[in-house]
Amino acid sequence: MEIYLFEIALTFYFAAAIVCVMEFFKGTRTTSIILLSLAVIGFLFHSSNIIARYVISGHIPIANLHEASSFFSWCIVMIFLFLEYRYRIGLLGSFIMPVVFILMLSSSMLPRKMEPLSPVLQSYWLGIHTVLAFVGDAAFAMAFGIGVMYLLQEHFVKSKHLGGLFQRLPSLQILDEINYKLITLGFPLLTLAIITGALWAESAWGSYWRWDPKEVWSLITWFIYAVVLHVRLIAGWRGKRAAILSILGFCAVLFTFFGVNFILQSKHVF
């Protein structure tokens, strides 16, 4: 049952990704409504899949890379829908839903078997630490999307291409403001995720810091976003520089999430 829910969600996200392309090149009010509807329906099936896995396994379904990628996508869609509700940027979906679909597609290709948790993972910290990390990362993913939109819009302004896409993208000021808000949401969550991870490591392994590649890369990501906030608040770095830094930061997030698992050796399950 839960497998079908996942597949249905994936199908809706795929349809949303296709509509995104149409929306990007020739968006109308109808395509925006269809895109949003597909995303909402996909999100509902996706939520049901996560709940079903939770009920079956008895723990929060973030225990392997398949579940983690799926949960990460779910968090991104959740924040996307919130931003849609709050700011009504129809075109935002064109920058986010393809990322969601790629994440879900990669999740679908990973082993889905629900295995019992190892004794070390049977801790309330699993839910707290991972949920904080994923919601924080999802905020950074959205900041990435907004950053790309900012660079595109700035390009249109500078090259005086004030046509269709320029009209449909929000103003540079709004994009910059949303970017900043997303980073101020993501940074405390990432900090909390690192702190709760350290507390868990102390109770499980007797050491709050073990130089594990995942820990090191989380620290790298944390430093990047700390720089983003510092230069913004103290030196007034806004706009293009902030957008570029948020794109760079999300590259670090992606490497922490996927790269560390595939290239480096980590004690973390995902």
Residues that bind another protein (CB under 8 A): 116, 119-120, 122-123, 125, 184, 187-188, 191-192, 195, 198-200, 202-211, 213, 216-217, 219-220, 223-224, 226-227, 230-231, 233-235, 264-265
User: Between residues 36 and 182, which has the closer beta carbon with respect to another protein?
Assistant: 182
User: Between residues 42 and 136, which has the closer beta carbon with respect to another protein?
Assistant: 136
Q: How far is the CB of 14 from another protein (least distance, A)?
A: 35
User: Between residues 40 and 227, which has the closer beta carbon with respect to another protein?
Assistant: 227
Q: How far is the CB of 19 from another protein (least distance, A)?
A: 34
CB 90 within 8 A of CB 167: no
User: Between residues 85 and 211, which has the closer beta carbon with respect to another protein?
Assistant: 211
Q: CA dihedral in degrees (27, 28, 34, 37; nearest 10)?
A: 90
Which tokens sit at 34? 């269809």
Q: How far is the CB of 29 from another protein (least distance, A)?
A: 30
User: Between residues 12 and 187, which has the closer beta carbon with respect to another protein?
Assistant: 187
Q: How far is the CB of 202 from another protein (least distance, A)?
A: 6
User: Between residues 140 and 217, which has the closer beta carbon with respect to another protein?
Assistant: 217
Q: How far is the CB of 232 from another protein (least distance, A)?
A: 11
- How does DSSP assign the chain, residue by residue? -HHHHHHHHHHHHHHHHHHHHHHHHH--HHHHHHHHHHHHHHHHHHHHHHHHHHHHHSS-S-SSHHHHHHHHHHHHHHHHHHHHHHH--TTHHHHHHHHHHHHHHHHHTS----PPPPGGG-SHHHHHHHHHHHHHHHHHHHHHHHHHHHHHHHHHHHTT--SHHHHHSPPHHHHHHHHHHHHHHHHHHHHHHHHHHHHHHHHHHS-S----HHHHHHHHHHHHHHHHHHHHHTT---HHHHHHHHHHHHHHHHIIIIIHHHTS--SS--
Q: How far is the CB of 103 from another protein (least distance, A)?
A: 23
User: Between residues 8 and 117, which has the closer beta carbon with respect to another protein?
Assistant: 117
Q: How far is the CB of 120 from another protein (least distance, A)?
A: 5
